[in-house]
Structure 1
Amino acid sequence: MKHWKAVAAAVGAGLVARWASGMLLNAIQRSQSLKNTATVTSLFVFPIKGVGGFEVQEWPLGPHGLLWDREWAVGLPKDDGSYQVVSSNRLQRLAAATASIDLAGQRMTLTAPGVESLTTSVRQSVAEANVTLRPIEIFGMPGSAVEESAEATAWWRRAVGNDDVVFLRIVTARMPQDSPNHQGCPVTEADSIGFHDYAALHIITREGVAWLDTVIPRDHQFPGFEITEAQFRANVVVEGLPFPDEDTWSVVTIGATKLRVAKQSGRCVIPTHNAAGERHPRFEPTATLRRVRRAFHRHQLGRPTKEGLFMFGLDLFHDAAIATGNILRVGDTLTVTERQTAPEYF
Structure 2
Amino acid sequence: MEAPTACATVSSIFVYPIKSCRGISVPSASISSTGFRWDRQWVVVNSKGRAYTQRVEPKLALVEPEFPREAFDEAWEPSCGSYLVLRAPGMDTLKVSLSKRYNILDGVSVWEWSGSAYDEGDEATNWFSEYLGKPSRLVRFNTENETRPVDSNYASGYETMFSDGYPFLLISQGSLDALNKLLKEPVPIDRFRPNILVEGCDPFAEDLWAEVKISGAKFHGVKLCSRCKVPTINQENAIAGDEPIKTLREFRSDEILRPTKKSQKKVYFGQNLVCEESRSSGKETSIRVGDPVYVIRKFSSHADAAA
- TM-score normalised by the shorter chain: which range applies? 0.7 to 0.9
State how far apart, in whole Å, the 2-side matches of 1:241 and 1:35 are. Answer: 12
Q: Which residue of 2 aligns with 1:192?
A: 159
Q: Which residue of 2 aligns with 1:321?
A: 279
Q: Count residues in correspondence.
A: 284
The letter for the 2-side match of 1:110 is L
Q: Which residue of 2 aligns with 1:336?
A: 295
State how far apart, in whole Å, the 2-side matches of 1:286 and 1:121 are. Answer: 38
Shift in alpha-carbon separation, 1:251–1:143, aligned structure 2, 3 A:
farther
Q: Which residue of 2 aligns with 1:272?
A: 232
The SS at the match of 1:84 is: coil
The letter for the 2-side match of 1:122 is L
Q: Which residue of 2 aligns with 1:249?
A: 209
The SS at the match of 2:148 is: coil
Shift in alpha-carbon separation, 1:328–1:86, aligned structure 2, 3 A:
same
Shift in alpha-carbon separation, 1:326–1:120, aligned structure 2, 3 A:
same
1:307 is the counterpart of 2:264: yes
Q: Which residue of 2 aligns with 1:167?
A: 138
State how far apart, in whole Å, the 1-side matches of 2:25 and 2:295 are. Answer: 24
Higher helix share: 1
TM-score norm. by structure 2 comes to 0.84
State how far apart, in whole Å, the 1-side matches of 2:247 and 2:54 are. Answer: 20
What is the aligned counterpart of 2:62 among 65, 79, 96?
Answer: 96
The letter for the 1-side match of 2:58 is Q
User: CA-to-partner distance for each residue in 1:112-135, whole Å, 9 max, x for gaps?
Assistant: 111011122223x62xx6x33423
State how far apart, in whole Å, the 2-side matches of 1:209 and 1:150 are. Answer: 41
The letter for the 2-side match of 1:309 is K
What is the aligned counterpart of 1:122 among 75, 89, 98?
Answer: 98
State how far apart, in whole Å, the 2-side matches of 1:88 and 1:207 are. Answer: 26
Shift in alpha-carbon separation, 1:161–1:108, aligned structure 2, 3 A:
same
The letter for the 1-side match of 2:97 is S
What is the aligned counterpart of 1:176 among 132, 144, 150?
Answer: 150
State how far apart, in whole Å, the 2-side matches of 1:117 and 1:324 are. Answer: 36
User: CA-to-partner distance for each residue in 1:212-271, whole Å, 9 max, x for gaps?
Assistant: 10122x3xx2xxxx4112221111100111012111111111101111112111111212
Q: Which residue of 1 aligns with 2:128?
A: 156
Q: Which residue of 2 aligns with 1:87?
A: 53
Q: Which runs of 5+ in 2 are unaligned?
A: none
Percent identical: 26
Note the C-alpha offset of 1:107: 2.3
State how far apart, in whole Å, the 2-side matches of 1:135 and 1:260 are. Answer: 32
State whether residues 64 and 87 of structure 2, in contact with CA within 8 Å, keep that contact through their aligned partners in structure 1.
yes
The letter for the 2-side match of 1:117 is T
Shift in alpha-carbon separation, 1:245–1:35, aligned structure 2, 3 A:
farther
User: What are the residue-to-residue correspondences of 1:205-216 with 2, within 5 Å?
Assistant: 205-216=172-183
State how far apart, in whole Å, the 1-side matches of 2:90 and 2:202 are. Answer: 42
Shift in alpha-carbon separation, 1:295–1:53, aligned structure 2, 3 A:
same
User: What are the residue-to-residue correspondences of 1:37-52 with 2, within 5 Å?
Assistant: 37-52=7-22
State how far apart, in whole Å, the 2-side matches of 1:107 and 1:326 are. Answer: 24
Shift in alpha-carbon separation, 1:295–1:38, aligned structure 2, 3 A:
same
State how far apart, in whole Å, the 2-side matches of 1:273 and 1:140 are. Answer: 24
1:137 is the counterpart of 2:113: no
State how far apart, in whole Å, the 2-side matches of 1:144 and 1:259 are. Answer: 29
Shift in alpha-carbon separation, 1:286–1:173, aligned structure 2, 3 A:
farther
State whether residues 94 and 277 of structure 1, in contact with CA within 8 Å, keep that contact through their aligned partners in structure 2.
no
Higher Cα Rg: structure 1 or 2? 1
1:237 is the counterpart of 2:210: no
Shift in alpha-carbon separation, 1:227–1:264, aligned structure 2, 3 A:
same
Note the C-alpha offset of 1:332: 0.7
User: CA-to-partner distance for each residue in 1:279-307, whole Å, 9 max, x for gaps?
Assistant: 243x1112211222111798x95xxx763
State whether residues 6 and 292 of structure 2, in contact with CA within 8 Å, keep that contact through their aligned partners in structure 1.
no
The letter for the 2-side match of 1:108 is L
Shift in alpha-carbon separation, 1:138–1:252, aligned structure 2, 3 A:
same
State how far apart, in whole Å, the 1-side matches of 2:114 and 2:299 are. Answer: 30
Q: Which residue of 1 aligns with 2:251?
A: 292
Q: Which runs of 5+ in 1 are unaligned?
A: 1-33, 179-183
Note the C-alpha offset of 1:35: 6.3
